[in-house]
Chain A
Amino acid sequence: MSKFEVNGHLYAAEPQPGQCLRTFLRDLEVFGVKKGCDAGDCGACTVWIDGKPFHSCLVPAFRGEGRKITTIEGLAKDGKLHPLQQAFHDAQAFQCGFCAAGMIMTTASAAFDEAHKADLPHALKGNLCRCTGYRSIHDALQGKSNIEEDVAGQACGASLPNPFTDAILTGKARYTMDVAMEGMLHLKVLRSPHAHARITRIDRSRAQAVPGVIAVYTWEDLPRRLFSSALHEDHLVDPDDTYMLDNVARFAGQRIAAVVAESEGAAEAGCRALKVDYEILPAVFDPVEAMEPGAPILHNKEDVVGANGNIFCTLQGEIGDVAKGFREADAVHEMTYSTSRVQHVHLETHGSIAWKGDDNRWHVRTSSQAPFAVRTKLAYLMGVPTRDLHVFTERVGGGFGGKQEMVSEDLALFAAMKLGRPVKWEWTREEEFHGATTRHQMTTKVRIGARKDGTLTALDVHVVSNTGAYGGHGSETLGAAMGAPLAVYRCDNKKGVGHAVYTNMVPAGGFRGYGASQTTFAIECALEELGRLLGIDPFTMRRRNVVKPGDNIESIWKEPSDSHFGSYGITECLDIVERELAKGNGIGKPDGEEWAEGTGVALAMLDCGPPTEHRSGAEMTLLADGTYHLAVGSSEMGNGITTAHMQIAASIMGVRASAIDIINSDTDRAPYDTGTFASTGTVVAGKAVHQTAEAMREDILDFACRHTGAPRDTCRLDSDAVVCGNKRIALSDLFAAGTKVGHRFAVSRKAYLSPRTIAFNVQGVRLAVHRVTGEIRILHSVHAADIGVPINPMQCRGQLDGAVAMGYGWALTENMVYEEGHMVNPQLRNYRIPAFADTPRTDIFFADTHDLIGPLGAKSQGECGINPVAPAIGNALVDAVGVRFAHLPFTPDRIYTKLAAKP
């Protein structure tokens, strides 16, 4: 046996020959060592070997023998956080927290010297964070604190730290895969090598003969039930076009067969040993071609598509008379804009563990934004009642819409039910690119006209959305694309046609910004072009046309809408960004005449919540010690919603947030919640918490009134006590009094989403672009958000930092590149999410608004910040070089190609 020293403990163990140190440490239940990419790109698995930092996923485990290995668990000494852990605590330098262990193990190492600290773009090359935009990480390394004290009665509006901070920063917080279970089996899938093919035969004999393989499942073994992997309250908004395993592959990467084995290695070997015969079918990748007569048809089932061929959904409408509007225009701009397919790259990959409990029920531990919706779908697919299923998350490492999708739970549960043993399916990073969902690629033709003074007279858009092989989220994202980005401008004449089209591409799904991002890019660029034609500056152009309270908030349909201004802050946001850009930040363009400088702005509007149903429940109880327990179904995936919910409840009860014990995202322990997506964490689940806390307060005061005989209007809560007239009773005493008479101090409320309030975001960018190399440098990035009252300003800022950074990634660095439906760059070194070096620090401002619809004056904040970023960059580029770049991403080679072609 080889000897390993890990965090001061000695282990005698023999690694597998090809095992890397990362999994070896996790096999020893050192779960603080995370997997983000398993390929040396993200740094989440960083550990020290003899004090030096290494990516443990790249270190052969045998090389750790006899060395001193330190992981995040070994950093705190005598219960005291390491100074870097403390710095990350004080700056709250994480959101989901999945990257934090690696960030700390990198920056706390002796190797991270002053030279590294002085050059963070270089020094943090090997650490990726998808949530924060790196600002809070930068703050931590500069010793800055971003948190405030938790004071009773002042919870709302305070920058309180995440309640799980210490667990996250010491490696104790358990993410989805951070558990060991007796008898665990491992599931792996074989994925289709073909973009379109029918399976004619599967020979599983060789796979079954692989030592350690327990079972092989193909389409013949699974229930033949159509469903959609997309998760919504109303499952009918997504087409039932998917089987858990199918005999037709409609995209390269679709799962073909599942192999369950005693080890991951054996399951992989089993997948390789499967012999599958395919009848290759013609494939189509371009949605325009897919709409043409004679195109290969993906779904030939009447219950899926009907007579429309590959067109899954068409949305169209007109208000006013667009033809007349264009006749009245003094200037008309027309151009086709397109956006690219991108992946969420939540640092924690998808994965689920399913098992049968002592209660004879099925338990699914998963990484999801919507465990209740997962439970509903699993019950349907497996043919069991929902009461026999328990679906929950513990800590989730990022979502961004990618986990509004049931892609790992079904097979793990199916296998567990068949085999009676726990089954784990952990996805690889490469699988995320091949087999999870992406943002919808959309192409938008815009025609827009205005009078000389800039007043819009007509807007006409034509949208083609590539929904890929399956249609989940296809119609909803198209609806969002045809909604707010058009409704944000007053114009009497608007028209739109949009198609969501099946192709043999990886399915698209929900992604932060959700369809609106794509058409916001097109329309905000087009509005800029129209302003340039008319000689009107971008701010004036937007102020003149942006929708105001009292206007109809409508895009291309006249039906009444439940969108309503609970507050209105767009003019303030425009003022802030204009002021800040004018003021500047002192960063000039690089020297040299090759560098051109330009400034751009764009705005985005968000209906706070989906137009479809969304509901959330909360329960609250007073505990014997006078503190509270709050249960809410809503999921936390790093968005900070848990902290916000505690703060909402605490502010109603007049206590410190730490007096609220909270559980969420668990179908057994919390009431129903549709899921944390579509900007609903604050405005729906937060509303449920708000109403529940108010009910709790009333329940306590009512009982106190009866108990003391004091008049009800003299009763009030006072932190951990209730005051009735001149009596002060500790809540713990009141609880005891209640217990005697059978009063339980437990309440529950439900919230629904309607009306939907409206939020705004404005992004300003000043950049330099190199005319010869096409390199872009962001010189100044300003963002103003109209999100109502920030319940936790630090967290709201963090959400915007992250959203804006993701916008920079979409616009500048990220691109899923395909050849005949096969992605050629499914690794993070080849698919570049913004690293520290790519991410400008953004100055973030909030409009001073108090919303009348959202709880405690708050609105949605995490989603919409991404939407104006790409068009602001595009508008700055045209300002700099006079050339419109209408297609994302703006990579230097594309910039060069277009500039070189300029006459």
Chain B
Amino acid sequence: MNLNTITEVKRPGSADQIGQWRDGYAWLAGGTWLFSEPQIRHQHADRPRWARLDSAHCDSRRAGNRRDLLRRRSPCLQGPADWRAVPLFRDCIDAFLMSFKIWNAATVGGNICMSLPAGAMISLTAALEGVCTLWPRDGQPRTLPVVDFVTGNHKNVLQKGELLRSIHLPARALSRRYAMRQMSLTRLGRSAALLVGTVNDGGTDFVLTITASTPRPVQLRFAKMPSAEELRHAINEQLPGDGYFQDVHGSARYKRHLTYYLAEQIRAELA
């Protein structure tokens, strides 16, 4: 939709071509979310402006650029034979509520920066232990895990004007076995729960990433494959009963139930 509160578009070739960052500025990635809702928030500042810069690249070796990631359906990404988690890209892309036409425009970084509980690129990159590189307006680039980048529904650690520059996926994570489960209230709808488990050969170092059912990604790590009881206990330890995300795409109670159920399915599959 038209965002009539926008008064100027800047199209810099690099981030430093934007001088002083002012209230009302926002980086524009694919724009598929920004243009999907009225953005009155940009209006309270004086003369809101945009700067356009592609906000994210997936820097994983040979992983291709962001557009290839989203555009190509099957296989959406190729990797060496020992990158066994590569099909997870496709699984997570299919978990998007939105259509393949959106994939033509949307970016991985934009999805992460939007920081929706059901952001499927958050699920993907958090599960594959991605690390964000952020460019603050002042100072040196900083890095932090994707799982810590998102802090809540539509909330993340980005400071004013800060840019998500890249997400690095370690080859180590891409080489692990994985299992993924997703459920939504409607067929192919927005995820009510999206869980991914990864594990090393030999069943050590089981990592369970819980997304969509929680306001932010939650990651559980086990030195060895837990029992069903241990898994449930660990979920309860890290996720109190009120730690689930309630919205029109599922009640918190239901999402908690799904989390237990899908987590156990993943555990059983990878065990």
Contacts and interface: CB of A to CB of B under 8 A. Distances in A.
Interface string B196-224: 00000000000000000000000000000
Interface string A92-115: 000000000000001000010001
26 contacts: A17-B7, A17-B9, A17-B50, A18-B7, A20-B2, A20-B35, A22-B1, A41-B36, A55-B32, A57-B35, A58-B30, A58-B102, A59-B35, A60-B31, A60-B35, A122-B188, A125-B99, A126-B98, A126-B99, A268-B4, A773-B258, A813-B186, A825-B248, A827-B36, A829-B190, A892-B183
Contacts of A609: none
B101 A55 contact: yes
A58 B39 CA distance: 13
Contacts of B9: 17-18, 60, 62
Nearest to A893: B254
What is the size category of the interface that chain B forms with chain A?
35 or more
A556 to B, nearest CB: 38
Interface in A858-903: 891-893, 896-897, 900
A265 B3 CA distance: 8
A116 interface: yes
A54 B188 contact: no
A53 B102 CA distance: 9
B102 A55 contact: yes
Nearest to A40: B36
Contacts of A40: 32, 35-36, 98, 102
Interface string A2-23: 0000000000000011111011
Given A19-B2, A54-B104, A812-B186, 10 more contacts: A18-B4, A19-B3, A39-B37, A40-B98, A60-B31, A116-B100, A125-B97, A773-B261, A775-B183, A892-B250
A674 interface: no
A269 B73 contact: no
Nearest to B42: A18
B270 interface: no
A17 B7 CA distance: 6
Contacts of A824: 248
Interface of A: 16-20, 22-23, 38-41, 43, 46, 52-55, 57-60, 62-63, 106, 111, 115-116, 121-127, 263-265, 268-269, 272, 428, 430, 772-775, 812-813, 815, 817, 824-825, 827, 829-832, 835, 837-838, 891-893, 896-897, 900
Contacts of A57: 1, 35-36
A264 B3 CA distance: 11
A870 B184 CA distance: 21
Contacts of A59: 31, 35, 105
A896 B255 CA distance: 11
Contacts, number: 162
A17 B8 CA distance: 5
Contact of B1 (A38, A817, A825): A38
Given A40-B32, A115-B74, A18 B192 contact: no
A126 B190 contact: no
Contacts of A106: 99, 101
Interface string B19-62: 00000000010111001111110010000011000000000000
A507 B189 CA distance: 29
B186 A832 contact: yes
B7 to A, nearest CB: 6
Given A122-B94, A772-B261, A838-B186, A269 B31 contact: no
Interface string B245-271: 000111101100110010000000000
B77 interface: no
A709 B107 CA distance: 81
Interface in B104-150: 104-105
A558 B2 CA distance: 57
Contacts of A812: 186
A270 B104 CA distance: 35
A123 B2 CA distance: 26
A272 B43 CA distance: 10
A857 B152 CA distance: 62
A831 B32 CA distance: 18
B185 interface: yes
A774 B257 CA distance: 11
Given A272-B43, A838-B187, A115 B73 contact: yes
A111 B190 contact: no
Contacts of A830: 248-249
B185 A16 contact: no
A125 B104 contact: no
Contacts of A815: 248
Contacts of A125: 97-100, 188
A815 B5 CA distance: 31
Max chain A C-beta neighbours (<10 A), residue from B36, B40, B183, B251: B36
Nearest to A268: B4
B6 interface: yes
A404 B252 CA distance: 38
B46 to A, nearest CB: 14
Nearest to B246: A893
A513 to B, nearest CB: 22
Contacts of B74: 115
B252 to A, nearest CB: 9
Given A115-B73, A893-B192, A264 B101 contact: no
B196 to A, nearest CB: 18
Nearest to B74: A115
Contact of A53 (B5, B50, B101): B101
Contacts of A264: 2, 4
Contacts of A773: 183, 258, 261
A-B CB proximity, top 9 nearest: A126-B99, A18-B6, A265-B4, A18-B3, A893-B254, A38-B1, A125-B99, A39-B36, A837-B187
B130 to A, nearest CB: 25
Contacts of A63: 31
Given A39-B1, A815-B248, A52 B50 contact: no
Contacts of B50: 17-18
A59 B1 CA distance: 9
A124 B188 CA distance: 11
Contact of A272 (B11, B40, B99, B102): B40
Given A59-B105, A897-B254, A126 B36 contact: no
Nearest to B10: A17
A653 to B, nearest CB: 47
Name, among B1, B37, B190, B250, the residue most crowded by chain A CB atoms within 10 Å (CB to CB).
B1
Contact of A16 (B4, B11, B31, B248): B4
Nearest to A53: B101
Nearest to B265: A772
A55 B101 CA distance: 7
Nearest to A63: B31
Nearest to A892: B185
B178 to A, nearest CB: 21
A594 to B, nearest CB: 10
Contacts of A838: 186-187
Contacts of A430: 38
